[in-house]
Amino acid sequence: MPWQHSLLLLYTVLSECESAKTQNLKRKFPNDFRFGAATAAYQIEGGWNADGKTESIWDHVAHTKPCAIDNCSNGDVAADSYHLHKRDVEIMRELGLDYYRFSLSWPRILPTGFPDKINEAGVQYYNNLIDEMLKYNIEPVVTIYHWDLPQKLQEMGGWTNPYIIDWYTDYARVAFELFGEKVKNWITVNEPEQICYFGYGNNLHAPLLNITGVADYLCAKNVLLAHAKAYHVYDEEYRPNQGGAIFISISAQYYDYEFKEYKDAAEDANDFTWAIYSHPIFSKYGDFPSSVKERVKAKSIQQGFPRSRLPELTPTEIETIRGSSDYFGLNHYFTFYVYRNESVKGLYPCPSKDDDLEVAIYQKEEWKGGQINVNKIVPSGFYKLLTKIKNYYNNPPVIITENGFATKRGLDDDDRVTYITLYINAMLDAIDDGSDIRSYTVWSMMDSLEWLGGFSECYGLYEVDFESPQRTRTPRKSAFVYKQIVRTRELDWHYEPDTDVITIDEGH
Ligand SMILES: *[C@@H]1O[C@H](CO)[C@@H](O)[C@H](O)[C@H]1NC(C)=O
Ligand SMILES: *[C@@H]1O[C@H](CO)[C@@H](O)[C@H](O)[C@H]1NC(C)=O
Ligand SMILES: *[C@@H]1O[C@H](CO)[C@@H](O)[C@H](O)[C@H]1NC(C)=O
């Protein structure tokens, strides 16, 4: 047989196996695998100035630049979870979640930003929520910082001021003191790239600073050190009695190459956007990736800066950061192709992180898209990313802390069902191939204020009616599908839910 024919035969067999794997079989999860769903304080709580809470940088943006957020929306009321925590816990029970990931609002707990004054009403809100969850065996996974910095601290430089390492650690200590008896899973910081590049290097997130190539790199160093210092405080002072886990959530999109000559460019794109945060923590020797250090230094010198715009980590700082996370908390949404050639030179402002990296990205037309999401559904990218993390960092335990897809309003969210099913399937492939993945969290349990995207980007398993004073929550089709996965601990390709009414199962 000519080789082409045998190759063709091999492909036929392979694709039949693939379809057997994905379409006929029900796939089981490992026995101790756990499922959750996530939200964040500013996106759902509302009560922006209730009972002593002060302004965060997101309140400040919404109030001083009222149309920065889509449709001129703000988070003043949002999903009103500040008043509806009992309904939120009921949703967790309807879904049968093992855990719920939510965040604490720093200015709700510490109105001055500092621990000189603790706002009892804010503390009470979180105690009520946690106690209600524990009553039904739903474990709290608590993000200490999910982007709502006290505005006062921003006025002193926010994440570019190295003193924030102490400010943040003081706040984290208050959280351990207040809730550590009941909370056994802590996430220090959510998505450093979105804090630093989106917020300080661009105008995509509060504080909309847009000082790229400088402020984003200062922020990167301070976020890493703040995270690491809080980790060590917990590890040394609280873990011995409280016995919990503490880790960081890093947002990593996957940058791939379509043509071999762009392999290095794709590698650099992964390094500049997420490994800049994960290498210092999870790699064997710590520190920023060498590609980032070298490129930023060379560009800086060329541009007339006396030293690299990327601050150095001292040997002591490298040691402090290295190993400072019990899990690799991973938020993942999308995959892109990357290229770097003459056409990219001079494309970006100078200096800037984009110019330092100097790549362009694109997605293939033929990749499946969604109803509104400009980004495509590429589950193979998720598999490759998980495999890269396994190979980079000697197979660390991974917790998927976010994964999800936006749709328009409406309860028939087939795009989200497709996305979640395919991505969970890709995750199971990675587990089969040796990745140590412990749990999966959908973003998001319900619709919320999607930052500058406002209320028009819906990520919720539950739809929230933002027009109704009750902020009514209604399960979408994806809620029924996810509930079935959690209940049966398997992925059933053929499951078609009866979406009439969602009930609370025994045991929850
Ligand atoms: C953000 O900064 C870049 C330069 O780095 C500039 O080209 C752009 O216009 C700025 N955007 C805004 C909205 O200020
Ligand atoms: C650069 O690469 C892109 C993507 O492969 C291609 O479309 C473009 O024509 C190339 N430009 C140059 C100047 O080589
Ligand atoms: C935009 O704002 C208007 C007026 O408040 C509201 O009626 C409409 O539902 C909003 N649309 C979205 C997508 O939030």
φ and ψ at residue 50, rounded to 5 degrees: -75, 140
107: tokens are 């200015």
Kindly report, residue by residue over 35-57, the tens digit of the pLDDT.
999 999 999 999 999 999 999 99
| Nearest atom in ligand 1 to 203's CA | 13
Judge residue 21's burial from the number of C-beta atoms within 10 Å of its C-beta, 0-12 exposed, 13-18 middle, 19 or more buried: middle
Positive or negative, the CA dihedral 373, 376, 380, 385 is negative
| CB 71 less than 6 A from any atom of ligand 3 | yes
Judge residue 388's burial from the number of C-beta atoms within 10 Å of its C-beta, 0-12 exposed, 13-18 middle, 19 or more buried: middle
- Ligand 3 centre from 146 Cα, in Å? 25
Question: In DSSP terms, which residues pair with 41 in a beta bridge?
Answer: none
| CB 341 less than 6 A from any atom of ligand 2 | yes
| Nearest atom in ligand 3 to 409's CA | 13
| Cβ burial 326-362 (10 Å sphere, 16+ → b, else e) | bbbbbbbbbbbbbbbeeebeeebeebbbbbbbbbbbe
Residue 360, in any domain of the structure: no
The pLDDT value recorded for residue 43 is 98
82: tokens are 């500040």
Residue 43, in any domain of the structure: yes
pLDDT confidence bin for 24, thresholds 50/70/90: low
- Of all protein residues, whose CA lies closest to atom 1 belonging to ligand 1? 210
- Ligand 1 centre from 465 Cα, in Å? 36
CA 322 to chain centre: 21
366 C-beta neighbours (distance < 10 Å), count = 7
Residue 108, in any domain of the structure: yes
| In 253-406, beta strands by DSSP E | 254-256, 328-331, 335-339, 360-362, 398-402
- Ligand 2 centre from 368 Cα, in Å? 24
| CB 394 less than 6 A from any atom of ligand 2 | no
Kindly report, residue by residue over 286-313, the tens digit of the pLDDT.
999 999 999 999 999 999 999 999 999 9
The pLDDT value recorded for residue 6 is 31
Q: Report the C-alpha gap between 131 and 140 in whole angstroms.
A: 10
Residue 177, in any domain of the structure: yes
| Nearest atom in ligand 2 to 344's CA | 1
Residue 502, in any domain of the structure: no
**What residue numbers bound the domain in which 38 lies?**
33-252+380-492
| Cβ burial 394-416 (10 Å sphere, 16+ → b, else e) | eebebbbbbbbbbbeeeeebebb
Ligand approaching nearest to the C-alpha of 70 = 3
pLDDT mean over 121-150? 98
Kindly report, residue by residue over 51-80, the tens digit of the pLDDT.
999 999 999 999 999 899 999 999 999 999
If one residue of 70, 77, 455, 463 were mutated to test the ligand 3 pocket, choosing by the most ligand atoms within 8 A of its CB, it would be 455
Domain count of the chain?
Answer: 1
Contact status, residue 439 vs residue 36, Cβ threshold 8 Å: yes
Residue 80, in any domain of the structure: yes
Contact status, residue 95 vs residue 505, Cβ threshold 8 Å: no
- Of all protein residues, whose CA lies closest to atom 1 belonging to ligand 2? 341
| CB 457 less than 6 A from any atom of ligand 3 | no
63 C-beta neighbours (distance < 10 Å), count = 13
Closest-CA residue to 141 (of 503, 500, 400, 490): 400
φ and ψ at residue 288, rounded to 5 degrees: -65, 155
Kindly report, residue by residue over 437-465, the tens digit of the pLDDT.
999 999 999 999 999 999 999 999 999 99
Ligand approaching nearest to the C-alpha of 209 = 1
The pLDDT value recorded for residue 4 is 31
CATH number at residue 207: 3.20.20.80
Closest-CA residue to 222 (of 137, 161, 306, 150): 161
- Ligand 3 centre from 70 Cα, in Å? 9
Q: Report the C-alpha gap between 335 and 377 in whole angstroms.
A: 8
The pLDDT value recorded for residue 374 is 78
203: tokens are 């105008």
Ligand approaching nearest to the C-alpha of 74 = 3
The pLDDT value recorded for residue 508 is 52
Task: Identify the residue whose tokens are 């899990």.
Answer: 327
The pTM of the full predicted model, rounded to 2 decimals, is 0.95
Closest-CA residue to 412 (of 490, 455, 474): 474
Longest pairwise C-alpha distance within the chain: 80
CA 226 to chain centre: 18
pLDDT confidence bin for 17, thresholds 50/70/90: very low
Kindly report, residue by residue over 351-363, the tens digit of the pLDDT.
999 999 999 999 9
- Amino acid identity, residue 219? C
If one residue of 61, 65, 210 were mutated to test the ligand 1 pocket, choosing by the most ligand atoms within 8 A of its CB, it would be 210
The pLDDT value recorded for residue 11 is 32
Given a cut of 50, whether residue 325 has pLDDT beyond it is yes
| CB 456 less than 6 A from any atom of ligand 3 | yes
| Nearest atom in ligand 1 to 352's CA | 5
Residue 123, in any domain of the structure: yes
- Of all protein residues, whose CA lies closest to atom 2 belonging to ligand 3? 71
Residue 18, in any domain of the structure: no
**H-type helices in 160-270, by residue range?**
164-179, 192-193, 215-233, 239-242, 263-270
| CB 345 less than 6 A from any atom of ligand 2 | no
The pLDDT value recorded for residue 25 is 76
Catalytic positions are 402
- Of all protein residues, whose CA lies closest to atom 9 belonging to ligand 2? 343
The pLDDT value recorded for residue 13 is 34
356: tokens are 């330092």
Binding pocket residue ranges, ligand 1, CB within 6 Å: 203, 210, 212, 349, 352
| CB 472 less than 6 A from any atom of ligand 3 | no
The pLDDT value recorded for residue 22 is 52
- Ligand 3 centre from 84 Cα, in Å? 22
| In 252-381, beta strands by DSSP E | 254-256, 328-331, 335-339, 360-362
pLDDT mean over 110-121? 98
CA-based end-to-end distance of the chain: 60
| Cβ burial 131-158 (10 Å sphere, 16+ → b, else e) | ebbeeeebbbbbbbbbbbbbbbbbeebb
